[in-house]
Amino acid sequence: MPAAPTDISPFLEDASGYRGSAERVFAPADVAEVRAIASEASGRRIPLTIAGAGTGLTGARVPRGGWVVSLERFRQIEILPGRARCGAGVLLAELQAAAAKTRQFPGPNPTESAASVGGAISTNAGGARSFRYGPMGRQVLALEVTFMDGRTRRYERGDKVDFPYRTVPAPRTTKNAAGYTLHPDLDWVELFSGSEGTLGIVTEAELQLYPEPPAILSGVVFFPSEELALDAVDFWRPVPGLRLLESMDARALDFLRPKYTGMSARARAALMIEQDLASEDDPEIDRWTERLAVQSALEEDSWFGFTAADRERFREFRHALPAITVDLGRRSGVKFSTDFAVPLEKNREMYTYYRQRCEETFPGRYTIFGHIGDANVHVNLLPRPEDADLAERLMEDFARKVVALGGTVAAEHGIGKQKTNLLKLMYSADEIEAMKEVKRHLDPQWLLGQGNIFEF
Ligand SMILES: Cc1cc2nc3c(=O)[nH]c(=O)nc-3n(C[C@H](O)[C@H](O)[C@H](O)COP(=O)(O)OP(=O)(O)OC[C@H]3O[C@@H](n4cnc5c(N)ncnc54)[C@H](O)[C@@H]3O)c2cc1C
């Protein structure tokens, strides 16, 4: 059997702070070793949890006993025109850097670029550019997977699932990572995307790459109010060539002010944009000046740039916020964070509801930010420890409203072990049973990713 890493403690938690336990951690070097681990675990009925980079926010890669298999040694990258072939352990930052050398890029761009390719596929991760390119699952052209019976298979996009299954209707959102995708005419790549390490071990993937446009305008546009920013979202969403549309509310900006001292005191909301350009003289640049004026944005205070360094600076600005709230939550143990999405036309209704209920219940102790282009903003509650139950109830209230509007309780982070209660709000018992039938078909002993998606 392949050697275990000497220190197993990093594998016993993820970025959510959820903690577990394991007997052993394996870091196989190749597919033959992965097969050997799966077969041995299967023969001895030992639960097996698959570890990516551990940036997940739902406890999904955290074991509840048994063995862990880490894909950290699957690091090969081959960049080809229009596609990248990568090992499951390749980090998104590594993929982006390798693709950039050929003037290509992978689509979605999740905010946490320390995530692995295998983890991002398995959570169907989204990102700032999912607004234009869709979530991670949509980028997958082919997958290599090892099942618990020791079989390894390669699936191309379009290879249809070849066993009977019952269909489950999907939410009317642009992203979904709640339970299995089970639409008619399903292919294997779709089934594996977002399956949270419960169906098989992904060892390699081929991912779509896109050519870099000749130039890109990127910016952080500040507004004197959230209402004006919400108006701008509706006007800007259809702008041709717009590939990123993200938001931050007033409290998010307040969190960032100590680090970004140059930010205007008048700024009470921000939208981040990226726009493809034909060149750095593209007339589209002047149109942005007009758009800012029409939407009453704080033009003089806003930040714009054209270079990769500018984009990275703005990405760091976006990343700093979840990094702060994730850290606050881990330290206090009482952070509540949503990953809901609603149909695009319901964005404003849901956002207004979030803000009104948060102001009533936790005035000043919350922040709303994220992928507003996909109607997938994250509400973060930072209650006092004694208010944890109240926060829990508010989260559930939000989830019920989201579902009533045709949305999803997990747009991009998955259900993991921490949100299994939410799955039942979104799907009927019979629909969840249809998902469990798929799980039992591919992992009859229910050893892989125990506790993920379904209560166990
Ligand atoms: C600051 C911050 C910002 C974030 N921003 C975003 C964002 O913008 N968008 C977004 O979607 N997420 C975001 N996340 C969440 C996280 O980065 C994603 O969920 C990411 O996809 C997890 O990847 P990972 O490699 O860390 O997976 P892990 O946490 O290690 O695992 C996640 C799940 O994938 C499974 N898995 C991992 N590798 C494999 C494999 N090879 N085969 C089968 N299953 C596997 C695991 O078993 C587990 O169920 C953010 C997290 C942080 C901390």
Q: Which atom of ligand 1 is nearest to the CA of 203?
A: 41
Tens-digit pLDDT profile for residues 218-234: 999 999 999 999 999 99
Cα 339 to averaged position of ligand 1 atoms, centre (Å)? 13
Q: Which atom of ligand 1 is nearest to the CA of 55?
A: 26
Share of residues in the chain with pLDDT > 90 (%) = 89
CATH of 215-404, one of 3.40.50.450, 3.40.50.1460, 3.20.20.210, 3.40.462.40: 3.40.462.40
Question: Which atom of ligand 1 lies closest to the CA of 411?
Answer: 11
Closest residue to atom 11 of ligand 1, CA basis? 125
pLDDT tens sequence across 142-189: 999 999 999 999 999 999 999 999 999 999 999 999 999 999 999 999
User: Predicted confidence band at 432 (pLDDT cuts at 50, 70, 90)?
Assistant: very high
Q: Does the pLDDT of residue 4 top 80, yes or no?
A: no
Confidence of residue 326 (pLDDT cuts 50, 70, 90): confident
SS (H, E, C) the chain: CCCCCCCCHHHHECCCCCECECCEEECCCCHHHHHHHHHHHHHCCCCEEEECCCCCCCCCCCCECCEEEECCCCCCEEEECCEEEEECCCEHHHHHHHHHCCCEEECCCCCCCCCEHHHHHHCCCCCCCHHHHCCHHHHEEEEEEECCCCCEEEEECCCECCCCCCCCCCCCCCCCCCCCCCCCCCEHHHHHCCCCCCCCEEEEEEEEEEECCCEEEEEEEEECCHHHHHHHHHHHCCCCCEEEEEEECHHHHHHHCCCCCCCCCCCCEEEEEEEEECCCCCCHHHHHHHHHHHCCCCHHHCEEECCHHHHHHHHHHHHHHHHHHHHHHHHHCCCEECCCECCHHHHHHHHHHHHHHHHHHCCCCEEEEEEHHHCEEEEEECCCHHHHHHHHHHHHHHHHHHHHCCCECCCCCCCCCCCHHHHHHHCCHHHHHHHHHHHHHHCCCCCECCCCCCCC
Instruction: Give residue 456's pLDDT band: very low, low, confident or very high (50, 70, 90).
Output: confident
Task: Return the residue whose CA atom lies nearest to atom 36 of ligand 1.
Answer: 119
User: Has residue 3 got a pLDDT over 70?
Assistant: no
Distance 331 CA to ligand 1 centre (A): 20
Residue 329 is predicted with a pLDDT of 76
Question: For the purposes of burial, counting CB atoms within 10 Å of the CB of 310, is it exposed (0-12), middle (13-18) or buried (19 or more)?
Answer: middle
- Nearest CA to 310 out of 375, 244, 367 is that of 244
The domain limits of the chain are 1-211+419-456, 215-404
Atom of ligand 1 nearest to the CA of 202: 42
Pairwise CA distance, residues 416 & 20, whole Å? 13
Ligand 1 centroid to residue 125 C-alpha, Å: 7
Which of 345, 346, 344, 325 lies closest to 336 in space, CA to CA?
A: 325
| pLDDT at 330 exceeding the cut of 80 | no
Contact between residue 314 and residue 279 where contact means Cβ atoms under 8 Å apart = no
Stated pTM of the model: 0.94
pLDDT at position 107 over 80: yes
Please determine, looking at this structure, whether the domain spanning 1-211+419-456 carries the CATH number 3.30.465.10. Answer: yes
Taking the centre of ligand 1 as the mean of its atom positions, its distance from the CA of residue 424, in whole angstroms, is 22
- Does 451 sit in the ligand 1 pocket, CB within 6 Å? no
Cα 413 to middle of ligand 1, angstroms: 7
Q: Say what the pLDDT of residue 415 is.
A: 98
